[in-house]
Structure 1
């Protein structure tokens, strides 16, 4: 086998047009999984990844969640970075008092996902990830987490484009030095601790769990938040639908995620 471990992004990379893993993807991963650990790396929470692990037959493998803010192996937390309560409070305050109109906030910690209302945005995320959020006010969630000395692994802001643009400008000015603000589309902002990246999550897992070098790894990705890991691993692969920035640092470009690009590159690279 040319590489000793495989990391892959999920949405826009591993999943097919039905937002599921195809029969070919399952077959190719199951063919190599006993020799090459398969680790999912995503902005998702852990339980939004479990059903994918189950289909691939890799439920025994670690997970890199929230773009690297939470790394789990053998049901234990290896690495943990949270948005502290004081910053979370200011973000909630902006939405409650400063913004012209409230937008949707999803608050995440490990396998907890809280929303204020089961609205259009919550339903959309539920449809995409197959996990249902719990309903609780942002203020209640904040107070509960403060009492437990917990922060947020991720905050997602969703709403009309003009509200999200205003929030993004405000958050960039107020929190740009402390938080990582990422926009995958004009109606979304994903907020994470500043130090978080998929690459840092991979490096922690390689150092603390697998005892492998980054050069031993292959990784697949498509979006801006995959750029660092694609650039750093021994063999970085961009799917055909990837951002130009990802393709620019990739060692190879495979087919579109809707054309089983990951599975077909595995078939080419890991021959029996």
Structure 2
């Protein structure tokens, strides 16, 4: 298989645990990085990706953060798209009656109103530390700097998420993408960006989309997997992702991406 670029999602795909890649994955990435550009593509914030880049020896490569809303290379901004402060405030108002909390992310900042099991889990898994302040305070503080979130994470119960999902579609479908990460989490990103749109920005003049191989497991990977030259789903991927993928590999816990690289690249 002749490809020029390899793009991989992290959580549930390249990572064999919640916060690390295996030695097998490191050795396979090291083997192919001489002739393939390796780009990590994630909903994570930059600092939760750069330690993984270093571990794999690809820290000079660009990273696609926040589902495509922020692209960095050596911490230099290549592209940045934010959710407006108006939309953020409206989201907060919509979520309050359901007891849903917001996590707000801008570049290297992560702001939450209080700690919780979910927040503690993210601190552990992503090696990032949040700023604790109310959503209203964050919105006002960022408004003064003329910035807004690259990503918003809605955190609630399955019941509250079920109730709010349709309301999100009704109110924000023209401006925001809403991805249900799992039963209790919904990720919000600006409508104009996606993992695929970010990959297109990073393609060099001598690289085409059909020369890209990509790996993923979740809803926010589907557009990417559908439109690149070869979209590969891991065994633990959602059913809908497996249906649109051109190839399958082992699960993330079985080093599916590394095994596919070893067998085919």
Shorter-chain TM-score range: over 0.9
- 3-state SS in 1 of match to 2:15: coil
Aligned equivalents of 2:11, 2:18: Cα separation in 1: 11
| 1:134-185 deviation line (CA, Å, top 9, x unaligned) | 1122111111111111111111011222222233232222112221111121
Aligned equivalents of 1:159, 1:240: Cα separation in 2: 27
Q: Which residue of 2 aligns with 1:104?
A: 101
Contact 1:7–1:40 (8 Å) recurs in 2: yes
TM-score (norm 1): 0.92
Alignment of 1:44-193 (within 5 A): 44-96=44-96, 99-100=97-98, 102-193=99-190
Q: How many residues align?
A: 265
Contact 1:2–1:269 (8 Å) recurs in 2: no
- 3-state SS in 2 of match to 1:142: helix
Q: Of residues 217, 226, 245 in structure 1, which corresponds to 2:221?
A: 226
Contact 2:40–2:64 (8 Å) recurs in 1: yes
CA 1:235–1:187 in 2, change beyond 3 Å: closer, same or farther? same
Alignment of 1:38-49 (within 5 A): 38-49=38-49
Alignment of 1:27-38 (within 5 A): 27-38=27-38
Structure 2 unaligned spans of 5+: none
Q: Which residue of 2 aligns with 1:268?
A: 263
Q: Which residue of 1 aligns with 2:240?
A: 245
Moved over 3 A (4+): none
Instruction: Tell me the CA shift for residue 202 of structure 1.
Output: 0.5
CA 1:211–1:79 in 2, change beyond 3 Å: closer, same or farther? farther
Instruction: Tell me the CA shift for residue 216 of structure 1.
Output: 1.4
CA 1:244–1:60 in 2, change beyond 3 Å: closer, same or farther? same
Structure 1 unaligned spans of 5+: none
Contact 1:38–1:58 (8 Å) recurs in 2: yes
Aligned equivalents of 1:247, 1:236: Cα separation in 2: 10
Alignment of 1:183-222 (within 5 A): 183-207=180-204, 211-222=206-217
- 3-state SS in 2 of match to 1:122: helix
TM-score (norm 2): 0.94
Instruction: Tell me the CA shift for residue 211 of structure 1.
Output: 4.7
Instruction: Tell me the CA shift for residue 18 of structure 1.
Output: 5.1
Q: Which residue of 2 aligns with 1:258?
A: 253
